[in-house]
Amino acid sequence: MINLCALSDDKYLSKGMTLYDSLLENTDNFILHYLCLDNDSFGKIKKFENKNFIVYHIEQFLLKDKRLEYLHDNEYKYFCWCLASYFTQYLMSQNLGDITYIDSDIYFHKDISIILNEIANRDVGVFRHRQFELNWNVPSGIFNVGVVHFKNTDIGKKTLFWWHDAVLYKKYPQLAQCGDQKYLDAFVNLGDKLFCDGSIGHGAPWQWQIYNFDTYIQDGYIDWNGKRQELIFTHFSQFEYDLQNNIYTPSTMHHIYTPMEMYYNIPGLKYIYDNYFKKLKISIKRYSL
């Protein structure tokens, strides 16, 4: 069984359920553990719980953890940053096996098993901010929290606990620059125990500009530094939409990396975002969001 986890409040719920539908469409034998951060989100999706989809409420964690409750009440933005490692660590402690954390605004174009098979026996799996070199020191970190995998091994569990503990208690000031994300820079110390990117194609607003779309003909591939890679997932960060007017904004940030005109003038990139908007509208209707 493939154990995955994601989380959101009501504002991001439509994206989270679109993530779930992308998994249903492409992947067999998985469970998505979904943490709801408010009553509205929990009330809307609890009724859809099934063998592939288990829903949790944040209250069950706040009642048991004073540190988490303090952050919730006093530093809410930081509290939200804590939850990727916190929820993943909780699930690992339940002896479910390997765990993959996924941001709610990720969409899988292909089977997530492709990623897991390439990670193989590596204990931890991460994905780069490809616009940066691995030896750069940048505030946002060289890895993205969008998809992070941990094996149920000694190294995998110790690494996950380190991340959870460091973020929750704000340790290591040099890494406390971008919520929970720059802490992932420390994972490079794992050496050959770390999987980083491999041949997995992934897209995001901060790295579309480094891909060559001249060879992209809506066939599900990207070209990065002359390497043809199957596009497995996209991080639709800062994607905003207006259903009443049937329009969307590809990303309200990150324009320093991918200028807005690229989304509309490059057919391959436009197709990726048009398709996501179509899938998102289907999920909104399906789950009455």
Closest CA to 163 of 184, 134, 188, 194: 184
Q: What pLDDT band is residue 217 in, cutting at 50, 70 and 90?
A: very low
C-alpha span between 254 and 141 (Å, rounded) = 15
Choose between 193 and 136: higher pLDDT.
193
Report the chain's mean pLDDT, rounded to a whole number: 93
Closest CA to 220 of 131, 145, 108: 108
Angle at 77 between CA 140 and CA 208, to 5 degrees: 35
pLDDT at 216: 58
pLDDT tens for each residue of 9-20: 999 999 999 999
Global confidence as pTM: 0.95
Decide: 89 and 164 in contact? Cβ < 8 Å: yes
State both tokens at 214: 């001249």
State both tokens at 262: 């690229």
Judged against a pLDDT cut of 60, whether residue 139 lies above it is answered with yes
State both tokens at 236: 């639709």
Domain boundaries, the chain: 2-196, 201-286
State both tokens at 219: 């066939």
Judged against a pLDDT cut of 80, whether residue 55 lies above it is answered with yes
Average pLDDT over residues 210-222: 74
pLDDT tens for each residue of 220-230: 888 888 888 99
pLDDT at 245: 97
Q: What Cα–Cα distance (Å) separates residue 29 from each residue in 24, 112, 131, 132, 154?
A: 9, 11, 34, 35, 25
pLDDT at 221: 87
Fold classification of 2-196 (topology level)? Spore Coat Polysaccharide Biosynthesis Protein SpsA; Chain A (3.90.550)
| Residue 226: how many other CB atoms lie within 10 Å | 7
C-alpha span between 245 and 251 (Å, rounded) = 17
pLDDT at 76: 93
Q: What Cα–Cα distance (Å) separates residue 205 from each residue in 12, 124, 145, 250, 257?
A: 18, 24, 14, 8, 7
Judged against a pLDDT cut of 60, whether residue 218 lies above it is answered with no
pLDDT tens for each residue of 77-121: 999 999 999 999 999 999 999 999 999 999 999 999 999 999 999
Closest CA to 175 of 130, 138, 125, 129: 138
